[in-house]
Structures are given as structure tokens and as C-alpha cells.
Structure 1
């Protein structure tokens, strides 16, 4: 009996949480990444083909949304941000924002891959989403 047949397919939320934690969306035991943002081709535990889920630019857009709207926008309400000298405020704000972006991006990408897994969206389905304009 294989590992995949011993457990139920996770719900959408469970798959996203597994990806958020950097784990295989199928079994929750294997690692999702083998480098910073490089997805494992196959789960080392259950053998699930993780590379089939096309994350593409989606995680970057959501990371920009999170960092830009939830972290940067509230800072603009504090007068010190726009009244202090630029030589002080630029590094004081850009360095933490760059670090936050680098910390958030792999988690968002993992959740995005979990979402694609739960919705059964695969790279091989790309032809379904592109219109042939010659017709």
C-alpha cells in the first residue's frame, strides 16, 4: 500500500497551509523546496510530482500586495516617514521591507502551490487557458 492511498486528499485550506509551511501539499511530510524558491521536482516522501504546478508570477504579485498594502501603506500615516531626511528614512524603511519581502515570498509561493494542488491546476492544462486568436 502506498503512502498516497493511506490518506485522504487534503482540503483547499489544508493544502495551502501545508504549502505555507514549505511542506508537500499531498503528504505534509516532504519538503516543498530544495533551495530558496526552487521547488522539488518530486516529494522525497510520497513521490508526488510537485513541479507540475505552475506558480509562475502569482506568488510575486501576492507578495507585492501584502508588503505594499499591508506593511507600507500604514507607514505613510506616520509623519516621521515623510518629514525625516531621506538619507535616514530610505535605508530605515527599504531594508526592513526587502527583508520582509524575502521572508514572505517563499511562504506565499508555497501557499500558491497548495492552492494549485487543491484546485488540480497543472502546467499541462495551459492550453485550456490560452485562446487561439487565429480562429
Structure 2
């Protein structure tokens, strides 16, 4: 039985490697080029390998993922702060507001990089037909 062969367009893509690159805000194909040219603006194409990044459709997915993570962290943190320090509610609300804002803004680019990488690795939204 002959070994299965793939054309360049059908080569399997390493999802784990693409995800690591996306989380580092790098191109999912080469891992060298920057994924963003602004805070959350995806490059039209990779400056190193020329991968067309316009098919990506992250939309609201990264925001939902970040909200899920940050709200779980905030919930546990509120319980721990309340039981440990019994601080005034206004102080706790102020601290939690700052914490939630900073953590959400820090996680959002990596979450969007993750979504772009998963789409590229799985040939979603046009990533499969225009690149190898």
C-alpha cells in the first residue's frame, strides 16, 4: 500500500506549534513576523514569509475567552481578598476594577493571536486555498 502523499496545499499543519506562535504574537506559519501592527490590528500579510492574514476572522471570540478567564480569576480573588483582609467594599471594588482592566488588556492580544493561529492551522476562512 503506497504511503499517503500530500500536495503543498494539503500538507498537515502543526497546530501546537501554530498556537505557540500565535500566543507569542508571531506569524503562525513562520514564527518570525509580527502578527499585529497595532494593539489588535492584524497585519495584512506576514512581513517575513508573506502569509496572507486577511482571511482571519477572530471577531468577538478573543473577547469572550478573555472575559471567561478574567471573570473566573476575579471571582476567586474576591473571595480570597474578602476572607483574608475584610476590606471595605468600595476599596475591593476599586482594586478589582483595576485588576480586571489590566489583566483583560494584557491577555487580549494573545487571545486574538491564538484565534488567528487556530484558524490558519485548521485552514478555516480561506487560509487553506491561498497559501501552502
- 2:78 and 2:105 map into 1 onto residues whose CA distance is 22
Q: In the alignment, does 2:65 pair up with 1:75?
A: no
Query: TM-score scaled to structure 2, two decimals?
Result: 0.80
Unmatched runs of 5 consecutive residues or more in structure 2: 1-7, 128-132
Distance apart, 1:122 and its partner CA: 1.1
Query: CA offsets, 1:16-59, max 9 Å, x none?
Result: 11010000001111000000000000000111111211001111
- 1:80 and 1:32 map into 2 onto residues whose CA distance is 40
- 1:23 and 1:9 map into 2 onto residues whose CA distance is 20
CA distance 1:79–1:33, shift in 2 (3 Å): closer
Contact kept, 8 Å, 1:22 with 1:31, in 2: the verdict is yes
Unmatched runs of 5 consecutive residues or more in structure 1: 125-135
Contact kept, 8 Å, 1:9 with 1:26, in 2: the verdict is no
Contact kept, 8 Å, 2:78 with 2:96, in 1: the verdict is no
Structure 1 residue corresponding to 2:27, chosen from 24, 27, 50: 24
Q: Moved runs in structure 1, 4+ residues, more than 6 A?
A: none
Query: TM-score scaled to structure 1, two decimals?
Result: 0.78
CA RMSD, 1 decimal: 2.4
- 1:113 and 1:47 map into 2 onto residues whose CA distance is 15
Aligned length, in residue pairs: 118
